[in-house]
Amino acid sequence: MNYYGSISNGYDELHGKEQLKKIKSILNNFDISRKKLLDVGCGTAFYSYLFRDYTGIDNCKEMLKKSKANVFLGSAEKLPYADNSFEVVLSLSAVHNFKNYEKAIDEMMRVASEMVVVSLLKKSKKFDRIKEYFNPDEEIDTEIDLIMVKNIT
Ligand SMILES: C[S@@+](CC[C@H](N)C(=O)[O-])C[C@H]1O[C@@H](n2cnc3c(N)ncnc32)[C@H](O)[C@@H]1O
């Protein structure tokens, strides 16, 4: 069992409030709640009720077991979806955990038709490298994360 498997029971209680704040910042700035959306590294996806057409993917089955949302087991580095199959791809505080963030970002860009929104933990050791690779069109600086947006053209 990996780290997230071991904390899956208490995850929502431990991180729920903080994560909800981040999602609300995203929704206040970008009109994405009614879009066809994929959430990469969705965890328990406790915030899925804020979206009309939500799909989540995560590689930790214990986190997914805690979820009541439309979620699937899979890897961010190899998304099992066709090109442009979601309007919006979201990833909340997860990209710094991915084994290969470059592959994962490439995959997110591939399956999105309109926009990719990645919320990146500012204290991550990989912050600068991930930001440079993602190369955001827009960003919102929040207390804990930098929210980065790429518009797909
Ligand atoms: C900090 S949690 C964030 C969960 C959720 N997005 C939230 O905000 O509550 C990071 C998540 O990324 C997932 N994860 C880590 N590496 C992954 C990978 N390679 N592919 C898919 N999910 C991954 C973990 O299992 C964990 O659920």
Q: Where are the domains of the chain?
A: 3-151
Instruction: Note the pLDDT of residue 103.
Output: 98
Regions of the chain with pLDDT less than 70: none
Instruction: Note the pLDDT of residue 72.
Output: 98
Q: Which of 32, 92, 99, 84 is nearest to 57 (CA)?
A: 92
107 in Cβ contact with 91 (< 8 Å): no
Instruction: Note the pLDDT of residue 9.
Output: 87
Helical (H) or strand (E) element with 88: strand 86-92
77 in Cβ contact with 57 (< 8 Å): no
Indicate the top mutation candidate among 59, 64, 90 to test ligand 1's pocket, ranked by most ligand atoms within 8 A of CB. Answer: 59
The response to whether residue 118 sits with its C-beta less than 6 Å from ligand 1 reads no
Atom of ligand 1 nearest to the CA of 12: 9
Amino acid at 134: F
Instruction: Note the pLDDT of residue 15.
Output: 86
* CB-neighbour burial class of residue 55 (10 A; exposed 0-12, middle 13-18, buried 19+): buried
Instruction: Note the pLDDT of residue 5.
Output: 87
Q: Which CATH superfamily is domain 3-151 in?
A: Vaccinia Virus protein VP39 (3.40.50.150)
Instruction: Note the pLDDT of residue 10.
Output: 83
Helices of type H across the chain: 3-7, 11-29, 61-65, 101-111, 127-134
28 CA to centre of ligand 1 in angstroms: 23
Instruction: Note the pLDDT of residue 13.
Output: 87
